[in-house]
Structure 1
Amino acid sequence: MKINNKIAIVLFAGSLMFSGCSDVFNELAINPNQPSMGAYFTSPSAVNDAVVTMYGYIQTQRCLGASGSKTQIIRSDEASSNSDYAKPGMYGADLNASYYTIEQPYTLMYTTASQASFIIETIDNVDFGNQQDLKNAYIGEAYFWRAFAHFYLLTNYRQVSPIRHMPQDASDYVRPTEAPSSVWDFIIEDLKQAKAYLPNKGFWSSDDAGRVTKASAAALLGKAYLYRSGIEHFYGSETTTYYSEAASEFNEIIKGVYGKYELAPEYSYNFDIIHENDANPESILEINFLGDVDNAGFNPGTATSGLAFDSRGLLLPGAGVGYEGVAHNWLYNEYVNSIDKNGFTDIRMFSTLMFDDRKPEIKLHQDAQGNPIRLEGPGGKHWEDLYPETNGKEGFQTQSNALAYPFKAGIKKGVDFSMPIQTNTDGSVKLTGVGGGVKEYVYNQPRANGMNWRYIRYADVLLMYAEAVLNGGTQGEKTPLDAINEVRRRADMADLTSVTMGDLKHERILEFALEGHRFYDLLRWGELSTRFKQLQSEDPNFKKFVSETDFQGFVANKHEWLPIPINEMNSNPYIESNNPGY
């Protein structure tokens, strides 16, 4: 059972009802805890309801279920999308302070931090009897999600006014922003507290699969140290780095201090429904989602659609209206050029992209009988079934979206291709969309995807550890070469004999493409501006999938950060100006 089955009920019971794009976020910004919070603190089970609600704020559609996830995925150099959720990542006019996918995650992260503060400050009022371990776990969860919320805010919006405690009076609902160094200190201290209170792996029952542990806190703490070292070097004024601290946190996980974590036997296990949470030895921090197969009304806060992962913007061209995404050709080529030790195309490509696997540059793996293993799309269809040749033309150009023509691949990660084709009772393909004229598969119902987001997995810990050591951090159990080769071996890649930062950066592309990390990799390496400038000059189709006129280009010293939402600008007198360029 996924933990979010419980979360949805708590959101409902707590009267936090969303309705489309209503003004509820404005209300939350004024008082993030409009529901009667005191009602939560009558028993340990009631405290649990309050704790689980924090997960719900993070996982709801308007946070990481749709808006925030597209901010992280499409904003990088890997992909383009024509979805409303993803438009800010296309660097056009919609990247502004009033766009809802920028405003909503911002508000919900602060809501999470506010809820966490209430739990931390109030939990001692509840008698836990001999359940001290459970009480500590709840406290640890509160510290963790407060840190996570501020980490998201800092790495995306830069200007942050931390929620260090629950409001004491009306004046506390608006707070001054603090220097990034102060916010980093706050995040790090909260994660240290979370690590101290949270249980090791194995504490939570199967009914609570997906709840955070000490390893979750250690991994995010190491990530905070790593990100701080790079971001503040290139965009701040800090001269101190924290690579040894980062390496130490990752090393504890590698050593198994908090329980055994290891790479899943198959790379693909990280992107399916069968191997989620406890079924995946690689999962350290997993954002859980439900699936609403019927797409029966959008109302975050209900058990059917509020906590789904909306795959809008990732779906294949021609399969929906306004839902599609494409991968940029440089990423396709990166995989094509990655050949394993047996002469086959990097197996990770087949879990990341949907493409024409009949092309001569693709070296298909073989089954036990020597037959090629074909890449399957929705409904088990191959590329030529999805995109049949028409008038001598093949590929995306046969579809309704002509702008997809120059792209070689669609997006597979984050979309459940195993879902069947949706049919009518007579077996015919169900037609929906504008005028009822678009073929839709169940997979293409954008809120039907219940696939969890493995936000931090063990492979990431290994490569972040290697990065920290390569940058001067103290080495622990493994050398950077050992750590990188461990990741490569799962994909049957030949071992490297030496390793540089260039090797590590390349491996992160192959291992984590389209998982929401790439933008922040480039950010902390100080390479965002040069990378976007390079692609804008080399690729005439870069970020032009929505409209050739919409793309305005990446602007250095502006687009590293999202704008502070206009509602916050208008209501918080302490914020005198928005981020540069907005």
Structure 2
Amino acid sequence: MKNILISFCATAALFIMFSCHDRLDRPAENRTFEEAIDYSNTSEMDAPLIGAYAAFQSRGWEQFPLISVRGDDVNNGGLGDQQPFADTDKFRYDKGYWMYNSLWQTMYSDIIDGNAAKEQIDLYAEQATGSNPAAQYKAEIDVLNAYLLFNIARVWSDVFIPETSNPSDLLTAEVKPKTEVMQYIADQMNAAIPLLPDMRPNQRTDLPGGVTKHTALAVKALANLELENYQGVADATSQIINSGLFKLYPDYYQLFKKPGELSDENLLQFQYSDFDQGTGTQITYLTAFFGPQKWEPKVEGINGGWGFYEPSLKYIKFMLDRGDRERLVTSVLFTPRGIEEIKKDPNYADLPDWVSNETPSGDVILDYARALFASGKHYLPSDQITPGRKSWANAQNMKVIRYAEILLMHAEALTRGATSTAITADAAVNLVRERAGMTPLSGVTSAQVLDEKLAELGMEWGIRYYDMLRTENYDELSYGGRDFSADKAYLPYPQAQVDVLPGLSK
């Protein structure tokens, strides 16, 4: 991996497959805007949009774990491999580490490419007669860009807001405070919302799973949560809830497997595919990072993973204390060695039978050196992997924003003084608990909502870590020998970017 200045190829549009769309069922192909393009052929106006989706979903394997690893729900796994990643988990930062630069570089590159795609859409629109979808397409890209910028700001706090397709503009730009970045995102979503389809992502027939009005509302709610504008959170989540379009997928375990793809719960997800073919072209995320190194799959021949992403013992004990069976069994893959480690604590010497190294799907997780546990949310049962494919969790979709998170954000906002006529905090929390087989609560508090978010959203997108930062629950992050303090909340700017972007040195 090269530590280089943000690479920019705004002229590249990568076509990606979304199901049920004849133009998108072709394998991925490259095309450059510098070629002679007939902008009067407005039937091709969606090409830049599809390129923006492709860039958005083409995330490097290192990005999700780097965003997520500092929470008390997750540990790094490893024995010296990627030591700066392990150090990051313990709040010891190396600004020269390639992972930091990769996350910064690729997310900013994709935002700038998205801005370029909007300019290409405008060129098509100039040639169009009558009404055309240019405004909607550009609004979709704004939502994708907003989610990328949201993550950049959560990781680094004060960052650039790229508003053009010219990367050299960053050479003279100044970083904006995190609060200003989040307000910018919320304002962008306000502008996008009326231009987007009023439906669930899985109801779109042109791009199933694509952005809708409710995706934009969800991103707006996330930005307002970071701003601690709880009425803004309640207003945005209320619109999603009142739409009546979304519901929780009934089976929490299968939600993260093939049956849960494009369910009514998903507001945004990364979609991948092997085209139901055992060989040949596929578009996928390298999920091997999360998997155990050794296992006995029910379907022989499927490879294990790398073992770098481990649910924490603290999280597991938290879930055991709650009797939160379904979500724990879904979220954690147990090894025999891991089960014995739990039992070393006298309070957990007698574990329930369902704590097992055999998954509900019949795959058996074995001991391996790097970790005691692996993430069940990044696991596909071997019998759900397309015959002929051998990679861990091959072509598994990755959930980004779920209706469960909307309900819990809504509940937290109400417990912190916001008002809404959509649904009470108790009702929102209990919908999520009911799906998990948990008893209902009455008079829920903010602390209880945060606990419910940990149980429901553990291992997902660093949600727990950023909740603890926002609420200044720093003691929760000082566990297992870690020593967290407020000055460690954000990563340092990557040295490779400091060297070339003057705004990062001020």
Q: TM-score, normalised by structure 1?
A: 0.71
DSSP 3-state at the match of 2:378: coil
DSSP 3-state at the match of 2:113: helix
Q: Residue 429 of structure 2 is aligned with which of 478, 484, 497? A: 484
Question: For residue 263 of structure 1, what is the aligned residue in structure 2?
Answer: 248
Q: Does 1:449 align with 2:432?
A: no
Q: CA, structure 1 residues 41+181, in 2 after alignment: closer, same or farther (shift >3 Å)? A: farther
Q: Does 1:536 align with 2:505?
A: no
DSSP 3-state at the match of 1:450: coil
CA contact (8 A) 1:316 1:326 kept: no
The amino acid across from 1:79 in the alignment is V
**Shift of residue 291, structure 1, vs aligned partner:** 5.2
Q: CA, structure 1 residues 200+294, in 2 after alignment: closer, same or farther (shift >3 Å)? A: closer
DSSP 3-state at the match of 1:159: coil
CA contact (8 A) 1:481 1:499 kept: yes
The amino acid across from 1:574 in the alignment is G
Question: For residue 243 of structure 1, what is the aligned residue in structure 2?
Answer: 230
Q: Residue 88 of structure 1 is aligned with which of 85, 90, 97? A: 85
Q: CA, structure 1 residues 135+490, in 2 after alignment: closer, same or farther (shift >3 Å)? A: same
CA contact (8 A) 1:352 1:513 kept: yes
Q: TM-score, normalised by structure 2?
A: 0.81
Question: For residue 308 of structure 1, what is the aligned residue in structure 2?
Answer: 284
CA contact (8 A) 1:88 1:94 kept: no
DSSP 3-state at the match of 1:571: coil
Q: Does 1:567 align with 2:501?
A: no
CA contact (8 A) 1:317 1:324 kept: no
Q: CA, structure 1 residues 309+90, in 2 after alignment: closer, same or farther (shift >3 Å)? A: farther
Question: For residue 379 of structure 2, what is the aligned residue in structure 1?
Answer: 415
Q: Residue 513 of structure 1 is aligned with which of 458, 462, 468? A: 458
Cα distance in 1 for residues equivalent to 2:386 and 2:210: 33
Unaligned 5+ runs, structure 1: 1-20, 230-241, 297-301, 340-344, 365-372, 388-395, 425-440, 538-552, 578-582
**Shift of residue 94, structure 1, vs aligned partner:** 8.1
Number of residue pairs aligned between Structure 1 and Structure 2 = 459
Cα distance in 1 for residues equivalent to 2:107 and 2:456: 28
DSSP 3-state at the match of 2:406: helix
Q: CA, structure 1 residues 255+420, in 2 after alignment: closer, same or farther (shift >3 Å)? A: closer
Cα distance in 2 for residues equivalent to 1:489 and 1:321: 33
Q: Does 1:73 align with 2:68?
A: yes
Q: Residue 460 of structure 1 is aligned with which of 395, 405, 416? A: 405
Cα distance in 1 for residues equivalent to 2:100 and 2:168: 26
**Shift of residue 412, structure 1, vs aligned partner:** 1.0
CA contact (8 A) 2:204 2:210 kept: no
> Which stretch of structure 1 is more off in the superposition, 478-487 or 282-291?
282-291
Per-residue CA deviation, residues 269-325 of structure 1 (Å, 9 max, x unaligned), is 320122212xx11111112124599999xxxxx953xx4222233212545574344
CA contact (8 A) 1:70 1:85 kept: no
Q: CA, structure 1 residues 293+46, in 2 after alignment: closer, same or farther (shift >3 Å)? A: closer
Question: For residue 33 of structure 1, what is the aligned residue in structure 2?
Answer: 10
Cα distance in 2 for residues equivalent to 1:346 and 1:555: 30
The amino acid across from 2:436 in the alignment is A
Q: CA, structure 1 residues 99+449, in 2 after alignment: closer, same or farther (shift >3 Å)? A: farther
Q: Residue 470 of structure 2 is aligned with which of 512, 516, 524? A: 524
% identical equivalent positions: 20
Q: Does 1:350 align with 2:329?
A: yes
**Shift of residue 467, structure 1, vs aligned partner:** 0.6
Alignment of 1:132-211 (within 5 A): 132=132, 134-167=133-166, 170=168, 173-201=171-199, 205-206=204-205, 208-211=207-210
Q: CA, structure 1 residues 93+143, in 2 after alignment: closer, same or farther (shift >3 Å)? A: closer
**Shift of residue 202, structure 1, vs aligned partner:** 5.6
Question: For residue 17 of structure 2, what is the aligned residue in structure 1?
Answer: none
Cα distance in 2 for residues equivalent to 1:96 and 1:513: 26
CA contact (8 A) 2:171 2:500 kept: no
Question: For residue 257 of structure 2, what is the aligned residue in structure 1?
Answer: 272
Question: For residue 45 of structure 2, what is the aligned residue in structure 1?
Answer: 47
Q: CA, structure 1 residues 420+497, in 2 after alignment: closer, same or farther (shift >3 Å)? A: closer
CA contact (8 A) 2:200 2:246 kept: no
Q: CA, structure 1 residues 131+420, in 2 after alignment: closer, same or farther (shift >3 Å)? A: same
DSSP 3-state at the match of 2:503: coil
Q: CA, structure 1 residues 124+500, in 2 after alignment: closer, same or farther (shift >3 Å)? A: same
Cα distance in 2 for residues equivalent to 1:295 and 1:569: 44
DSSP 3-state at the match of 2:250: coil
Per-residue CA deviation, residues 216-250 of structure 1 (Å, 9 max, x unaligned), is 00011011101121xxxxxxxxxxxx111110000
Question: For residue 23 of structure 2, what is the aligned residue in structure 1?
Answer: none
Q: CA, structure 1 residues 348+322, in 2 after alignment: closer, same or farther (shift >3 Å)? A: closer
CA contact (8 A) 2:140 2:211 kept: yes
DSSP 3-state at the match of 1:265: coil
The amino acid across from 1:313 in the alignment is F
**Shift of residue 450, structure 1, vs aligned partner:** 1.4
CA contact (8 A) 1:489 1:495 kept: yes
**Shift of residue 185, structure 1, vs aligned partner:** 2.5
Cα distance in 2 for residues equivalent to 1:275 and 1:412: 14
Q: Does 1:380 align with 2:362?
A: yes
Cα distance in 2 for residues equivalent to 1:509 and 1:252: 24
Cα distance in 1 for residues equivalent to 2:278 and 2:103: 22
Q: CA, structure 1 residues 494+461, in 2 after alignment: closer, same or farther (shift >3 Å)? A: same
CA contact (8 A) 1:75 1:90 kept: no
Per-residue CA deviation, residues 415-466 of structure 1 (Å, 9 max, x unaligned), is 2133489999xxxxxxxxxxxxxxxx93xx35x5211122111111000001
Cα distance in 1 for residues equivalent to 2:275 and 2:92: 28
Question: For residue 287 of structure 1, what is the aligned residue in structure 2?
Answer: 270
Cα distance in 1 for residues equivalent to 2:387 and 2:174: 55
CA contact (8 A) 1:80 1:328 kept: yes
DSSP 3-state at the match of 1:515: coil
Cα distance in 2 for residues equivalent to 1:202 and 1:159: 33
The amino acid across from 1:413 in the alignment is K
Question: For residue 494 of structure 1, what is the aligned residue in structure 2?
Answer: 439
DSSP 3-state at the match of 1:574: helix
